Structure 1
Amino acid sequence: MRSRIYRNPVGVSKFTGLVLILPFIIGAVLFIIYPFVYSFTVGLTDNNGGMSFENYRNILSDSSSRQAFGVTLKYTLILVPLKLAVSLLVALLLNCELKGIGIFRTAFYIPSILGSNLAVIIMWQYLFTSDGLVNQLLSTMGIAPVGWYGDPDAALFIIVLLRLWEFGSTMVIFLAALRDMPKELYDAAKVDGCGNIRTFFSITLPQLKRIIFINLILQTIAAMQEFNAPYMITGGGPLGNTRTIGMYIYEEMFRYGDEGTANAVSWLLFVIIGLIVMLLYKFTEKLRRD
């Protein structure tokens, strides 16, 4: 068989590939590498303009920063499992062939698009005011109105409920995985007399373990960086019990003008998220391998 000899087209030099990827390289240097290095440098700059770990020591000794880290971890531990469970349940309900099912799938996905919209957040805020719709519904059932913004747990619940309402993106990933599962497995389970619950735990759940892990990582990272909802709905109150790390960074940077502390906290958040992801990989390694 005669081998083919490929020759470079006329006018194409060995630097053509470099020229083609040059815009990406410039963008990566200006908007990724430079800000990354600059942020790390600013985080190490103390009040005297020298390089030290003073900012990090101040953060670790500051009760406000410790509270913000604690609120963020609590928020993540509550939201992520609930969101995964609700997303999977809805994906199972929508994984059927019915006339007009596409309309329902679209309707369930829409909150994920609107969730970060300012108008939706303001509407959500007014739902839980003292004379809001939620307290009005509670009154009709004979339940005393709840001071949602005065109780730390209730205020955090409002934010969790908003983000739980935005389960569409996670649901779509689960739904895609469900529709890609081999139908032969379910046919065999039906022949063996397995019910829906046994089929779910014996076939569906094991097949979804890698997708569950992916959603777990994505939702954990997103929850650890939460800013919009607590900033707009509760303002971090009451008494800082809903102030997340994202809000703490924002306040240090734009309210108090402390660039060093803001960048140092950003790096601590980066390290914490990295450690959490590593631990999740470690604890689920055997599960994902089986």
Structure 2
Amino acid sequence: MSAGVALSATDLDAGVDGHLILSGVTLDVAPGSLVAVVGENGSGKSTLLRALAGLTRPLAGTVAVDGTDLRALPGRARARLLAWVGQEDAPAEELLVWQAVALGLVPYQRPWAGSGTGEREAVGAALAQVGLSALADRRCDHLSGGERRRVMLARGLAQRTGLMVLDEPTNHLDVAHQQELVALLRASGRTVVASLHDLDLARNGFDQAVVLHGGRALATGPATEVLVPEVVRPAFGVDASLLPDPATGRRHLVLSAPRTRDVRAERPR
């Protein structure tokens, strides 16, 4: 288990190619917390995560991991502090699964050639965590989309950092593997910031949530307090209800069908 680290963002402005997308985002994430970033498509989830991971330079404000400003760190040092898994990341097709996962060890030494006991153990443990031990010697181009996604997550786990930043980690995963992923992240002890589309998974699987809307953080706080109908309605344009599970009593966020617009009423007369 890795020890989680603190993450903070102060008055963060973030964008792409100098174009402002998000402004004034402030976060304080306690070590070991799981934080879900949610919002409509185009709301800036990936932009925020890339800034938090130090992949893009903030247009204003600061991002610090364990009190260290990410701008002060070279790439290798940053890679020892946090692991990034992007939504479009995929293993090279010609690599075997274990080789793709072993790339997570590069920040610490030369790429693994399969000779070190410690390296073998790290890769084996990461594969076991994502349920891919049996596929270690399979070529990555022979994997399903969900299996390739789990390879990239295993690579991030093998990196042995206290912080993981994951852009849509549940993409291509079925419901069972989504639930297993959340349980895995919590058991890892790491601090995790992840973008999600499943609002109920974010509400009941994560400690905190950040809701992005209109270029700002509309709401930030405990997931069960932030992901409520009063916030979901303006952020996503849909009604929602909190319904208790008869078996557990846990309240789940259930979305209503989006309202349809009367196009005829919008036509000029």
Q: Give your verdict on TM over 0.5.
A: no
Provide the TM-score with structure 1 as the length reference.
0.22
Higher fraction of helix: 1
Q: Which has the higher contact order (CA 8 A, sep 6+)?
A: 1
Provide the TM-score with structure 2 as the length reference.
0.23
The structure with the largest alpha-carbon Rg is 1
